[in-house]
């Protein structure tokens, strides 16, 4: 279980750095969505299924869709 | 987006998503979840409908007028339940002391007024999600045209 936890937290750190480094905003939104999904699994491992459910619905679902809708109105690449 | 695979699969899957959302809202006091999570899942199913069938058809099913009534009705229902507590005992949102039936702990019909509050929160959150998405999509529509 500790190995799984370390792996998930490592993935989380890599995702957070990648969101900050990437210039393509659409890629950033998709990486952020993956970050939310891993975070939701971590909440479940921390015995908080309530927060995990909300994180999966809001973080991985609605936030990504709203960000993509906004990117469709503006520019895709960060200048 | 007019694709027969997308339309068929969405027609099959949207009722199940909505039943899952209603299940989470109604079981908010005995299991994980509640009004916010269930309402978000309900709103996600309506967003999927908008993405597949287009914003015009979705506006016919869930127009701004309906979402106005749903949002105001949800919060007014919450305040009304809270006012019952004020009139009976003097404190906002009093639960058991205000005369709400407690039921049997652990069953679906229990915890006094909490299920009623959860229904109001669920309706409000679901209509907020779909209104946010419709507003952004509509402006993009007008901007490109």
pLDDT score recorded for residue B141:
61
Res A40 pLDDT > 60: yes
A23-39 pLDDT, tens digit per residue, is 888 999 999 999 999 99
Backbone angles phi, psi at B99, to 5 degrees: 100, 5
Stretch 8-67 of chain B: residues touching chain A, C-beta under 8 Å: 24, 32-34, 36-37, 40-41, 43-44, 47, 51
Residue A19 has pLDDT above 80, yes or no: yes
Q: Where are the domains of chain B?
A: 4-144
Stretch A33-60: mean pLDDT, rounded? 90
Residues B54 and B1: beta-carbon distance below 8 Å: yes
The size of chain A, in residues, is: 79
Residues of chain B with pLDDT under 70: 1, 139-145
| pLDDT value of position B142 | 62
User: Please, what is the Cα angle at A79 between A30 and A31, to 5 degrees?
Assistant: 10
Task: Give the ipTM of the model, two decimals please.
Answer: 0.79
pLDDT (tens digit per residue) in B8-36: 999 999 999 999 999 999 888 888 888 88
Helices (H), A1-79: 2-21, 25-45, 49-54, 63-73
Average pLDDT, chain A: 89
Kindly state the tokens that stand for B137. Answer: 């999509």
Handedness of CA A34, A55, B23, B75 (dihedral sign): negative
Q: Which among B67, B129, B141 is positioned nearest to A63, based on CA atoms?
A: B129
Chain A interface, Cβ < 8 Å to B: 49-50, 52-54, 57-58, 61-62, 65-66, 69-70, 72-73
Task: Tell me the shortest Cα–Cα distance from B37 to chain A, in angstroms.
Answer: 5
Name A76's Cβ contacts closer than 8 Å, sequence gap at least 6. A24, A25, A26
pLDDT of residue B108: 77
pLDDT of residue B145: 42
Question: What is residue A41's predicted lDDT score, i.e. its pLDDT?
Answer: 92
The more confidently predicted of residues A3 and A77 is A3
* Collapsed DSSP state (helix, strand, coil) of residue B106: coil
A50–B47 CB contact, under 8 Å: no
* Higher pLDDT pick, A20 / B93: A20
């Amino acid at each position: 279980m500790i190995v799984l936890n370390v792996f998930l937290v490592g993935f989380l750190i890599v995702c957070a750095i990648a969101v900050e480094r990437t210039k393509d905003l659409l890629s950033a939104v998709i990486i952020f969505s993956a970050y939310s999904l891993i975070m939701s699994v971590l909440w479940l491992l921390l015995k908080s299924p309530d927060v995990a459910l909300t994180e999966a619905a809001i973080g991985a679902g609605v936030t990504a869709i709203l960000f993509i809708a906004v990117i469709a109105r503006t520019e895709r690449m960060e200048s | 987006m007019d694709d027969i695979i997308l339309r068929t699969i969405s027609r099959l899957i949207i009722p199940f998503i909505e039943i899952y959302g209603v299940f989470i809202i109604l079981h908010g006091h005995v299991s994980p979840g509640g009004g916010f999570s269930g309402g978000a899942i309900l709103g996600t199913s309506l967003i999927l409908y908008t993405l597949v069938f287009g914003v015009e058809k979705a506006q016919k099913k869930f127009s701004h007028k309906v979402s106005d009534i749903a949002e105001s009705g949800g919060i007014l229902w919450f305040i009304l339940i809270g006012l019952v507590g004020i009139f009976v005992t003097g404190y906002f949102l009093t639960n058991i002391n205000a005369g709400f039936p407690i039921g049997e702990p652990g069953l679906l019909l229990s915890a006094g007024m909490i299920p009623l509050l959860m229904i109001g929160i669920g309706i409000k959150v679901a209509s907020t999600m779909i209104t946010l998405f419709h507003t952004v999509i509509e402006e993009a529509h007008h901007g490109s045209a």
